[in-house]
Amino acid sequence: MIALLEIPLHQAVPYVAGAYIAFVALILLYLAIMATKLGRIERELAELTDLATRRRPGADEHDAP
């Protein structure tokens, strides 16, 4: 069996912290990209609502976006 480095606690903490932080950062990055997509969907939906209300004036104007 190959000898493992037994690192003292104060040296191990940065590694453990680094790993967990990297994981969180990755997930947050993913969420951020999804959020921009969601923003785009909302914008386009607003445009389409606009388009629809122009076509049928008075029908949907009281709908909250």
Partner 1 sequence: MYGKRLRPLALTTFAALTLTLVLAFFWAPNDANQGFLQKIFYLHVPLAIVTLCGFIYGGLAAIAHLRTRDSRWDMRSYVAIHLSLVFGVGVLVTGSIWAKGSWGVWWDWSEPTLVSFLLIMLLYATYQPLRFAIEDPERQARYASVFAITAGAFVPINFVIVRLSTAYLHPRVLGNISANLPGRFQIVFYLSLISMALLWITLWRYEMTSKHASAQLRALKRALGGDDDEALPRRSAVPTLTIGAGATPTGRGSAGRTGAPR
Residues that bind partner 1 (CB under 8 A): 1-2, 4-9, 12-13, 15-16, 18-20, 22-23, 26-27, 30, 34, 37-38, 41, 44-45, 48, 51-52, 55
- Shortest Cβ distance from residue 63 to partner 1 (Å)? 14
Residue closer to partner 1, measured from CB, 38 or 64: 38
- Shortest Cβ distance from residue 42 to partner 1 (Å)? 9
d(CA 35, CA 15): 30
Asked if 49 and 60 touch (Cβ cutoff 8 Å), the reply is yes
Q: Which two tokens stand for residue 1?
A: 């069996």
d(CA 12, CA 39): 40
